[in-house]
Structure 1
Amino acid sequence: MTETTQTLDYSATLYLPQTEFPMRGGLPQKEPETVARWQANGLYKQLRASAAGRPKFVLHDGPPYANGNIHIGHALNKILKDVITRSFQMRGYDSNYVPGWDCHGLPIEWKIEEKYREKGLDKDKVPVNEFRQECRDFAAGWIAVQTEEFKRLGIEGDFEHPYTTMAFHSEARIAGELLKIARTGQLYRGSKPIMWSVVERTALAEAEVEYQDYESDTIWVKFPVSGGAAALADASVVIWTTTPWTIPGNRAISFSPRIAYGLYEVTAAANDFGPQPGEKLIFADALAADCATKAKIELKRINDVKASDLEGMTSDHPFKGLGGGYDFAVPLISGDHVTDDAGTGFVHTAPGHGREDFEAWMDAAPALRARGISTDIPFTVDDAGYYTKDVPGLGPDREGGPARVIDDKGKKGDANDSVIKALIGFGLLFARGRLKHTYPHSWRSKKPVIFRNTPQWFVYMDEDFGDGSTLRSRALKAIDDTRFVPAAGQNRLRAMIETRPDWVLSRQRAWGVPISVFADADGKVLVDDEVNARILEAFEAEGADAWFAEGARERFLGSRANEPWVQVRDILDVWFDSGSTHVFTLEDRPDLKWPADVYLEGSDQHRGWFHSSLLESCATRGRAPYNAVITHGFTMDEKGEKMSKSRGNVVAPQDVMAKSGADILRLWVMTTDYWDDQRLGNSVIQTNIDSYRKLRNTIRWMLGTLAHDDGSDVPVAEMPELERLMLSRVAELDALVRKGYDDFDFKRITRALIDFANIELSAFYFDVRKDALYCDAPSSKRRKASLQVIRTVFDCLVTWMAPMLPFTTEEAWLSRNPEADSVHLQQFPEIPAEWIDEKLAAKWKKIRTVRRVVTGALEVERREKRIGSSLEAAPVVHITDPELIAAVKDTDFAEICITSGITIVASDGPADAFRLEDVATVSVVPVEATGTKCARSWRITDDVGSDPDFPDVSARDAAALHELKALGRI
C-alpha cells in the first residue's frame, strides 16, 4: 500500500457536520431562558389559537394544596400531566391544560393558628372573616410560588387564569352543589361515630387519615350475666378491647353464631386482681387457653354455650354502681364482624365509638326496642377529648374534673388509667396488657384520632333518589363505565365504594365553604329557592365570607327570619370542594368540556379526589366527571424506602433542576414504570444523564449533517434499500409512538426512541452512511436520499419527544428552524403507513446478523492493535446459511461493514475464524485491505490515482471534487 502526497486540504471539501447546537446541554442555565421566551412570546395563547376548531381533549388537573414548595411527587404528577396534554395537542386536538389549587381546609388554617400561638393570641377572639382573610392570603402566596416552580419544570398551561377553590365563583358553585344535594333530600344531619382529631378539633374523612404504628393499652373485661339462660346466671362474658376509654360507651356485646363457645370454670389463679378459683367465664373455645395465659389462671371447660343461649341474654355494665348512670341491661347481639382470630370471641360494642359497633347496634335496634331496651347512643367524649356528663363518675362530676382520652398534643390522657382503676375496683378486670398495632392518625398533625359519636352532616349512600338509584348504585355503575390505567384501579375504587359509609361532609373549622343551609331543631333542611338564590348571589359577589358576616341569617332568610331556622356554622369537607372542581372548571369554562377525558393523580386518590369527584358528580349529575382515570405510584429512594427529611433521603426537584436540568427529571419520569412506585437517587439521575447525552449527541449529529441539506427529495421507490429500511422503521415507530401516547405508556415510547437513536441510528445507519454523506458528490442520489431520511427522522424524533423533553426539543427545533416560533406548535408528522416494508426489514435483519459477526471480528483486531480503523480491513466472511448468503449478496457489504473490501464465501470458515455463539453459520477471517489509502475518504482502494487531476484520491472522490470545483467550492 502506498500513499500519495496530498495537494489539497480535502477536509474543506467534505460535507462534515456543522452546527451550533452544543454537545453539552447546559440545561440549568438554558431552561429558565426558554421558559422566559415562552412567556414573552405568549406560547400558551399561540397554542390555543393554533388549536381553534379542533376536537377538545381535556385532562382535568387534580388540585395540589397551596401550602408549601413542590416536592418530587408534585414533579412526577405535573410532568405526567404535561406530557399527556402536549402529546394530544400535537396530534390534532385542542388540549388545554388549566392548573388548579385546593385552598381551603385545616392545613392552611393550622398554619395561621400556629402563627397566632407564637404571638400568644387567641384565634377565637379574632373576627372570623379577618381570620379567613389571613388564610386566603397565605394560600395566594403559595400559589404564586408553586406556579413558578411548575413553570420551571416546563409545564405549559393557563397559569394566568388557573382555578382555585377559594375564588368567589368557585365558592358559589361549591355551595350551589351542596344545595342541589339538599334539594334531593340526600343531605341529612345524623349522629354517628366518625374519626375525630382532638388536636385539630374537627371530624376527618378516611382520605385525611394515615395508619401508623401505635402502642395501645389492652384490657379483658368481665360482664356479669344478668338475664337469659338460667344455667349461665352466675357466669361472666369476657370481652377484649384495645380502647379501654370506650368502656363507658358500651351498650352491647356482639357474638357470632358461627363460633363455638364454652362455659369455663377457674381452677387456679396466680394474679393480683384477676379472676379467682370458682369463677365461671364464657369464651370462644378457640381462644380460652390464650385468655387463661393472659390472666395467669387455669380453666376447666364445663359445658357448651350455644348461640340460642346467647340470644336474649343480658349482662350488667361493668360500671354498674359508678355514679348511678350504668344501671341498664347490656344485651348480647349477633354481629358479622365477630371472629375467633383474637380476643375472646366476644366484641365489646360501643356504638358511639366505631363503625362496625354502630352498624351492629343499628341492625339490632328494632329487636332491642321491642324488648324495652333503649337504643340511644351516648355522647361520651367532647371535641377536646374529655368525658362528658354521659360518663358519670369519670366525667365532669369526678373530683378534679373529667378524664381525658387524648390531650392537645396528641398524647394519651388519663381516661384509660381511670377506666382500668375503676374496673379493678369493681373486680371486673380480667387481664391487661399492651399491643403494638397500626392505628389511624391525622395525616396533617400525625397524631392519633379517636372515633366519637357527634352530630354531623351526611350524604346518604343508599337512599333512593326517586328513580330507583342510590348514590352507591350510581357510583358503582360509573366505575364500570370508566377506563382505568392501570386496570387494577377499577377494582380498588369499586371496593371502596361498595363498603363506604354515608359521606360525612361537616368540619368544625373556620376556613372553607360553609354548609350553607338552614335547619330546624330536628335537622330538617330548609329548601327555599329564594333563600338559596340570595345565598348564591352573595357568594358570587363576596365569596363565602358572606355566610359569616354580621346579619347573614336575616339577610338570607329574608321574610322567614322570624321562623326558628338555625344557620349551620360547620364548613364543608375540603374533599367536597375538590370533588366539585369539575363544575366550576370543566362546565363553566368555554375552553374546556365536561366530562373530562382524563383524571390523573397518585394511587392514594382512589380514596381522595377520584372518590369525592365521583360521589359529587353522581349525586348531582348521575355519572362520573371523567372518562378515564390514571394513577401513578409514589417515589421512593434508591433503596426502595420512603423519602423523609429525618432519613436525609429526600430528592427535591428544585435541586435536580439546579444541578442537571428539568429535562433530566422529565426523562426519569418517562423511563419509569410510573404506575407503580418508583425509585430516585443520584445513581438513577446519573443513568438518565448518560441516556440524555447519547440522545442529545444523536440530535446534534443530525443537525450538523442537515446543515448541508438543500431540501431536495428523492422518490421513495428510487431510494437505496438502506434508506427505505429506515423509512420503514420510522413508520413502525410512528404507530408505536401514537399508540403509546394513547395508552399513556410513556416508558415504551421512550425506550423505543432511545434504542432507535442509539442502536439503529448512531451505531448503524449513521455509521454506514457517514462516508456517503461526507464524501459523495453533490449530485449523488444516495447522499440526497440519506439527507432526506435524516430530515424525516429528525422531524419525527424531535416532535415525538417534544412532549417529554420540551426544552431540548425546542432548542433542537429552533436550531434547525431559526424562524419558527416553537416545536410545540407543530403536529406529529404524517407518516405513510405504506412505508412499512416487512419483507425488506426481514432481509436487513439477516444482513445485520452477518454484519454483527464482522464488526465483532474487527473489534478484536482493533483491540489487539493489528488495525487502527475498520477501513484498513477487507475480511473474508464465510457463510453456510443460504438465506444469509442471499441477503448479503446483492449489497455493498463492505460499505455496510465500513471496510475497504469484503469477500463472501459460501462455506464454513477455518477453525480459528472468529465466530459468535448465537450465529453459528457465519465466521470471519480478518484480512488487511490492499491498495492505496484515499487522502479524502481514507478508504483503501485500487483506483486511487486513476484521475490525474486528483492523483491521491479514489475515482469516486475525484468525481466529487470535479463537481465541487464546477460549483466553485474549490
Structure 2
Amino acid sequence: MCSDKTTDKSAPDYRNSVFLPQTDFPMRAGLPAREPDWLAHWAKIGIYDRLREKNADGSRAPFTLHDGPPYANGHLHIGHALNKTIKDIITRSHQMMGKDARYVPGWDCHGLPIEWKIEEQYRAKGLDKDAVNIIDFRQECRKFAEGWVDIQREEFKRLGVYGNWDDPYLTMNFHAEAVIAEEFMKFLMNGTLYQGSKPVMWSPVEKTALAEAEVEYHDHTSHTIWVRFQVRRGGNATMPTDEPVEYDDADQALLADQLHQASVVIWTTTPWTIPQNRAVSFNPGIAYGLYRVDALDEKSTATEGELLLLADALAQSVMDQAKVESFTRVRDVSAQELEGLTLSHPYAGVEGAQGEWDYDIPMLPGDHVTDEAGTGFVHTAPSHGDDDYQMGLKFNLPMTYNVEPDGTYRKDLPLFGGEAIIAQDGKDGPANVSNIKQLAWAGALLAKGKIKHSYPHSWRSKAPVIYRNTPQWFAAIDHKLDDGMGTYGDTIRKRALQSIEKLVKFTPEKGRNRLHSMIETRPDWVLSRQRAWGVPLTCFVKTGAKPTDPDFLLRNAEVNARIAAAFETSGADVWYEDGFKEKVLDGLVDPAAYTQVFDVLDVWFDSGSTHAFVLRDRADGTADGIADVYMEGTDQHRGWFHSSLLQGCATLGRAPYRNVVTHGFTLDEKGMKMSKSIGNTIVPEEIIKQYGADILRLWVAQTDYTADQRIGPEILKGVADSYRRLRNTLRFMLGNLEGYTEEERVIPRDMPELERWVLHRLSELDVEVRKGYESFDFQGVFQTLFTFCTVEMSAFYFDIRKDALYCDPANATRRRAARTVLDHLFNCLTTWFAPILVFTMEDVWLSRFPGEGSSVHLQDMPEVPDDWSNAVLAEKWEGIRRARRVVTASLEVHRSAKEIGSSLEAAPVVHVEDSELADALRSVAFADQCIVSSISVTTDAAPSEAFRLPEQPGVAVVFERAMGSKCQRCWKILPDVGSHKHPGTCKRCNDALG
C-alpha cells in the first residue's frame, strides 16, 4: 500500500537544485510592436546582400522566382499579401535548402490602371486630358507610379518579404522601356506583326481596346429582342431583284412560295448591333420548320397567318415570347432550302434610312449556331463579335465602321447618328431602345424582353464593354517563323503548346489544361491600345500603302537600333518629341514617306517582356533567361502566364519559365468575394496591427493556397491559437538549452533509445520538409511540422524528458543526450519554420545566438546524417507508444475520478498479449515513458476489469498505487525515499545533490 509519508516536512527546499528552464523568450509574442525591430536588424546587416555573398565561390545552384509585377496604383489588399508571402516562402525555403535564391521585386507601371487615376484627377479639376501635352501627361503618370512604388515597397517589406528592394525592376525604367521596344521590334522583323481590322473587346468609357485579362464578368440586365428578317426571294443574293425564278414543277413552286412569304426570326441581346447586320447564320445539323401563326393574345405583335422560320426545338419558346396562343407547323425546311434564301435587312426601305440598309442579307451555314436558346438563327454582324467575324472571313462579308471610339454611332449614320451604346458614365445609352423602337415601327419586332446574364465589364472603370471593329495591331500566332529557334515548333502557338506539354511543371496540375486550352483556341494577340501612357508601338508605315502591301511596314534594323538607343538614354517619351521620326529615319529612308504609329503596347506585352530585361539583362538574372518559377493568381492563366508564354515563344523559342504555381482568390469567412460595398474586406495593415505579420504569414501557410481561401476574425483567432501552441514548443527548447555547450554533446550510439527515435523522426521530417518546399506544398510542410511539435514533441517527448532535464545530475548521460537532441531539434525546427515565420524564428534564434550579425536567415537547413535513420527502432517505438496510450488513458480515468492527482501516484500493471511487445516495454524505462513512479509489464492474461482501448487491442492496464514516499525533489513516489544522505530524496536526486 502507499506510504502515509508522502511529504517530509523536515526536508530542505530543493527547488533551487532543479534545472528549471531559463529563457528570456517571452510567452506573449508582442509581434506588432517587435517585428519592426527585426526589420531594422535585417536592414542593418544587409541580409539580402549577405545571402548573395554566400555564393561568392559559385558553389550554390541558382534559383530564381521571377516576380509578376503588381500595378503601382494603390495600397495593398489581402490578395497582394497572399501573393507576396507565397513568393517569399518559395524563395527563402530554396535559399535555406542550399540554393542561391534571388528575388527581384518588380512593378507594372504603364497602362490604364495608372492613366485612369490621372484622368480622374484631371476630371476632378475640370481639365481635359486630351488638351494636355502628351509628354507632360506621361510625366504625371510616371510621378504617380513612382509614389506608389515607394508606398507598396514599404508595405511589402512590412510583411517580412525580402528581396532586392533597393534595385527593383520597373517597366517604366528607361532600360525596361528600351527592351520592351526591342522585343516588340522582333515581332516587327519576324513577320508576325500586322495591322488588321477585326472586332475586339472595347471600352467606350476608356476609349481603348482591352485584353481578355482586363475584362471581368458581372451580372447585367440587357434588352433582348426577337426580330423578323423577311425572305426576299430564292436564289443567289447577287441576282437582280426583279429577275423571275423558274421551278421544275408546281409543287416545288408552291413550297418555294411559302418560304418567300415567311420571315426568318433571330434573337439577340444586343439590339444596337442590328444596323451592322450583314448575314443570318443557321446550322445545317439543326431541324428547322415553317410555322404558321393561328391565334394571338391581344398584346401580341405577331400577325395572324404569318409564316415564321424557326428551329423546331425552340419554336414553342419563341411563340410564347411572341404571345402566340396557337400555331401550326406547316412543314420541314431543309438546309439546302435555307442556304438558297436571301433576306431583307429590317431597315431596308425604312423612311429616313437613305438607302443605308438596302442590301441583301444572305443565309449562311455556321457551326456556332445551336438550338439551346434563341431561335436557331443567329444575327451576324462581322464587326461586333468573334463568331460573326469568322463568318465574315469565311464568306467575304463586308465590315462596317458605324461605332466610334466613345461608343456612339458615327454621326452620319441614318436614324441613329451620334447615339451612345454605352454612355461615358458607364450606363446604357439610348442606342438599344432606339433600335427596338425602329424595329417595331418597321414591323420587324416580333417580341422583346429583358435578360439578366453575365456580361463583360472593364475591370478598371467597371463599365460594360462592347465588341467593336477597329484597325488594330496584331501578332499572328500561327505565322511560320524562320528564326533558328524551332526546337518546339515554327509558330508561336506551336511553341507555346509544346512548352506547356513538355517543359513546364504546373502547381496545381490542373493549370496545365487550363492554359493549354486557352492557347489552343485563342485568336491573334491584339498588341495595340489607343492610350497615352505606355511603350509605343515603335514602327512606321508607308504613307498611302495598304496593310496588305508587302512594304507597308518599315523593317530596318538600323532604325530599330536608333530607337532602342534613344529609349535607353531618355525613355519612351522621346517617341512623342517633335522631329523624332526625322531623327531616327534620317539618312536611311525618306521620313516624308512614312507615318509614325502612336498607339501604345498592351501592358501585358510589357509584363510579358520582363524576362528579357530582368532575367536576361540583370546581373542577378539567370544565365539562360529562363525563370525557375512564375507564381501568381489563377486569373493569370489568361494574364501574365499567358502573355509571357506568347512573348517568350516569339523571342526565346520557348516559355520563359520552368514552373507555374498558382493561387486562388481570397474570400471572407462565409466564402463570399470581398467587397468594400458589403464591408467584408480584410486589410493586411489591420491584421498586422492586431496580430503581427507572422500571423498573416502563418494563415498563408495553413491554407491550401491552390484553391480559394477564406479569411476573417474567427479564422485568424484559430491561426493565432496555433501560433501560441507552436511558440510554447519553441520556448521549452530554449529554456532547456540554457548554457548548453559542445562538451555536453552525446553521439547517437551513446544515447538512450528515446533520443535515437527523435533523431530518426528528424531524418524522416528532413525528407518530407524538403520535398514539401520543393513542390511548393507549404500547407503540407506546416501541418507536418506543427503535428510533430505539438503531438510528438510537446505531448510526448518533452513531457517524458522533463523529469530527466530538470532532475538528472548535470553530467548524466540521459540529460546530456536529451539536451543534445534539443540542440538538433532547435537547429532543424528554426530553419524549417524560418521561411514561413520569418520574425518569430529570428526571435528564437537571436534568443539563443545573440549578436549584431546573427540571423537565422543566414543559415541553411542542417544536413541530417544518414545514420539517424533507423526503421527497426522506429517500428519498436511505434509499439511502445501504442501501449503508452492505453496506460495514459487509464490514468486519466482515475484522475478524472479524483482518485489520484498526479500520474506519479500510480504504479500500473500492464498486461500485454504480444511477448515481443512486452520485451520491448521491459527493455526501456517504460515507467518514465508513462510518467509514473513505477510500472509492471506482464504477459499474464488481464482480468476482466482491466482498462482497455478498442483501438489498441492486446494491451490492458490494472491500476495500482505507487508504494513508498514522495521524493521532495522529483516528486516520484519510491520505496527508497528517505534512506539517503539528503533527506526526503530518492537515490537519483541524492546523487544529483552530491
Provide TM-score, normalisation by structure 2: 0.94
Residue of structure 1 equivalent to 2:250? none
Say whether the 8 Å CA contact 1:6–1:935 is kept in structure 2. Answer: no
Residue of structure 1 equivalent to 2:170? 164
Which of 108, 115, 118 matches 1:102? 108
Deviation for aligned residue 1:561: 4.4
Q: Which amino acid in structure 2 is aligned with residue 551 of structure 1?
A: G
Residue of structure 1 equivalent to 2:274? 247
Q: Which amino acid in structure 2 is aligned with residue 15 of structure 1?
A: F
Structure 2 counterparts to residues 104-183 of structure 1, below 5 A: 104-183=110-189
- 1:780 is the counterpart of 2:812: yes
- 1:946 is the counterpart of 2:979: yes
Q: State the alpha-carbon separation in 1 of the partners of residues 26 and 922 from structure 2.
A: 41
Q: State the alpha-carbon separation in 2 of the partners of residues 101 and 55 from structure 1.
A: 27
- 1:303 is the counterpart of 2:331: yes
Residue of structure 2 equivalent to 1:791? 823
Q: Which amino acid in structure 2 is aligned with residue 266 of structure 1?
A: V
Q: State the alpha-carbon separation in 1 of the partners of residues 519 and 970 from structure 2.
A: 72
Q: Which amino acid in structure 1 is aligned with residue 611 of structure 2?
A: H
Q: Indicate the SS of the match to 1:768.
A: helix
Deviation for aligned residue 1:198: 0.7
Residue of structure 1 equivalent to 2:762? 730
Structure 2 counterparts to residues 591-630 of structure 1, below 5 A: 591-593=620-622, 594-630=625-661
- 1:191 is the counterpart of 2:197: yes
Relative to 1, partners in 2 of residues 1:130 and 1:6: Cα closer, same or farther, differing over 3 Å?
farther
Q: State the alpha-carbon separation in 1 of the partners of residues 11 and 319 from structure 2.
A: 106
Q: Which moved more, 1:578-587 or 1:12-21?
A: 12-21
Relative to 1, partners in 2 of residues 1:6 and 1:634: Cα closer, same or farther, differing over 3 Å?
farther
Residue of structure 2 equivalent to 1:846? 879
Which of 757, 760, 769 matches 2:801? 769
Say whether the 8 Å CA contact 2:12–2:983 is kept in structure 1. Answer: no
Q: State the alpha-carbon separation in 1 of the partners of residues 10 and 692 from structure 2.
A: 47
Deviation for aligned residue 1:76: 0.5
Structure 2 counterparts to residues 807-956 of structure 1, below 5 A: 807-819=839-851, 821-948=854-981, 950-956=982-988
- 1:362 is the counterpart of 2:390: no
Which of 613, 620, 631 matches 2:662? 631
Say whether the 8 Å CA contact 1:553–1:561 is kept in structure 2. Answer: no
After superposition, what is the alpha-carbon deviation per residue over 1:50-69, rounded to whole angstroms, capped at 9, x for unaligned? 13312110000000110111
Deviation for aligned residue 1:945: 2.8
Deviation for aligned residue 1:708: 3.7
Q: Which moved more, 1:862-871 or 1:61-70?
A: 862-871
- 1:488 is the counterpart of 2:488: no
Residue of structure 2 equivalent to 1:659? 690
Which of 535, 542, 555 matches 2:570? 542
Deviation for aligned residue 1:912: 3.1
Deviation for aligned residue 1:271: 5.0
- 1:335 is the counterpart of 2:366: yes
Q: State the alpha-carbon separation in 1 of the partners of residues 191 and 82 from structure 2.
A: 41
Q: Indicate the SS of the match to 2:844.
A: helix
Residue of structure 2 equivalent to 1:399? none
Residue of structure 1 equivalent to 2:28? 24
Residue of structure 2 equivalent to 1:444? 460
Q: State the alpha-carbon separation in 2 of the partners of residues 351 and 271 from structure 1.
A: 37
Q: State the alpha-carbon separation in 1 of the partners of residues 849 and 976 from structure 2.
A: 41
Deviation for aligned residue 1:566: 1.1
Q: State the alpha-carbon separation in 1 of the partners of residues 18 and 734 from structure 2.
A: 16
- 1:475 is the counterpart of 2:508: no
After superposition, what is the alpha-carbon deviation per residue over 1:554-584, rounded to whole angstroms, capped at 9, x for unaligned? 2222243443211111111111111011110
Residue of structure 1 equivalent to 2:540? 518
Say whether the 8 Å CA contact 1:323–1:393 is kept in structure 2. Answer: no
Deviation for aligned residue 1:550: 1.9
Q: Indicate the SS of the match to 1:592.
A: coil
- 1:709 is the counterpart of 2:740: yes
Residue of structure 1 equivalent to 2:835? 803
Deviation for aligned residue 1:952: 1.8
Q: State the alpha-carbon separation in 2 of the partners of residues 109 and 557 from structure 1.
A: 30
Q: State the alpha-carbon separation in 1 of the partners of residues 278 and 601 from structure 2.
A: 31
Q: Which amino acid in structure 2 is aligned with residue 449 of structure 1?
A: V
- 1:553 is the counterpart of 2:584: no
Relative to 1, partners in 2 of residues 1:105 and 1:6: Cα closer, same or farther, differing over 3 Å?
farther
Q: Indicate the SS of the match to 1:857.
A: helix
Q: State the alpha-carbon separation in 2 of the partners of residues 908 and 294 from structure 1.
A: 84
Q: Which moved more, 1:429-438 or 1:898-907?
A: 898-907
Q: State the alpha-carbon separation in 1 of the partners of residues 359 and 958 from structure 2.
A: 101
Q: Which amino acid in structure 2 is aligned with residue 895 of structure 1?
A: D
Q: Which moved more, 1:713-722 or 1:127-136?
A: 713-722
Deviation for aligned residue 1:880: 2.4
Residue of structure 2 equivalent to 1:505? 527
Deviation for aligned residue 1:406: 1.1
- 1:754 is the counterpart of 2:786: yes
Identity among equivalent positions (%) equals 56
Q: Indicate the SS of the match to 1:920.
A: coil
Q: State the alpha-carbon separation in 2 of the partners of residues 261 and 644 from structure 1.
A: 47
After superposition, what is the alpha-carbon deviation per residue over 1:503-543, rounded to whole angstroms, capped at 9, x for unaligned? 00111111111111111242322111222122111111111
Q: Indicate the SS of the match to 2:478.
A: coil
After superposition, what is the alpha-carbon deviation per residue over 1:705-753, rounded to whole angstroms, capped at 9, x for unaligned? 0114222322211211101100000000000001111111111110111
Equivalent residue pairs, number? 946
Say whether the 8 Å CA contact 1:380–1:390 is kept in structure 2. Answer: no
Deviation for aligned residue 1:5: 4.3
Say whether the 8 Å CA contact 1:271–1:295 is kept in structure 2. Answer: no
Say whether the 8 Å CA contact 1:248–1:391 is kept in structure 2. Answer: no
Deviation for aligned residue 1:221: 0.9
Say whether the 8 Å CA contact 1:379–1:390 is kept in structure 2. Answer: no
Deviation for aligned residue 1:393: 2.7
Deviation for aligned residue 1:905: 2.7
Say whether the 8 Å CA contact 2:392–2:398 is kept in structure 1. Answer: no
After superposition, what is the alpha-carbon deviation per residue over 1:321-378, rounded to whole angstroms, capped at 9, x for unaligned? 222111111111111110001111000000000001101221122xxxxxxxxx3201
Structure 2 counterparts to residues 625-704 of structure 1, below 5 A: 625-704=656-735
Residue of structure 1 equivalent to 2:413? 391
Q: State the alpha-carbon separation in 2 of the partners of residues 288 and 934 from structure 1.
A: 95
Q: Indicate the SS of the match to 1:585.
A: helix
Q: Which amino acid in structure 1 is aligned with residue 224 of structure 2?
A: T
Q: Which amino acid in structure 1 is aligned with residue 617 of structure 2?
A: D
After superposition, what is the alpha-carbon deviation per residue over 1:868-902, rounded to whole angstroms, capped at 9, x for unaligned? 21111111222223343232121211111111111
Deviation for aligned residue 1:390: 7.2
After superposition, what is the alpha-carbon deviation per residue over 1:110-169, rounded to whole angstroms, capped at 9, x for unaligned? 111111111111111111111111111111111111111111100000000000001111
After superposition, what is the alpha-carbon deviation per residue over 1:583-620, rounded to whole angstroms, capped at 9, x for unaligned? 10000012221200000000000000000000011111
Which of 580, 583, 588 matches 2:609? 580
Q: Indicate the SS of the match to 2:788.
A: helix
Residue of structure 1 equivalent to 2:404? 382
Q: State the alpha-carbon separation in 1 of the partners of residues 266 and 142 from structure 2.
A: 50
Residue of structure 2 equivalent to 1:352? 383
Which of 445, 449, 452 matches 1:429? 445
- 1:464 is the counterpart of 2:488: no
Q: Which amino acid in structure 2 is aligned with residue 80 of structure 1?
A: I
After superposition, what is the alpha-carbon deviation per residue over 1:384-436, rounded to whole angstroms, capped at 9, x for unaligned? 111126733322xxxxxx22211101111111121112111221111111111
Q: Indicate the SS of the match to 1:456.
A: strand
Residue of structure 2 equivalent to 1:40? 44
Q: Which amino acid in structure 2 is aligned with residue 333 of structure 1?
A: L
Q: State the alpha-carbon separation in 2 of the partners of residues 300 and 564 from structure 1.
A: 67
Deviation for aligned residue 1:8: 3.9
Say whether the 8 Å CA contact 1:878–1:923 is kept in structure 2. Answer: yes
> Which aligned runs of 4 or more in structure 1 are off by greater than 4 angstroms?
none
After superposition, what is the alpha-carbon deviation per residue over 1:32-76, rounded to whole angstroms, capped at 9, x for unaligned? 110011111111111111133121100000001101111110111
Q: Indicate the SS of the match to 1:58.
A: strand
Deviation for aligned residue 1:10: 1.6
User: Structure 2 regions of 5+ residues with no counterpart?
Assistant: 236-255
Say whether the 8 Å CA contact 1:56–1:592 is kept in structure 2. Answer: no
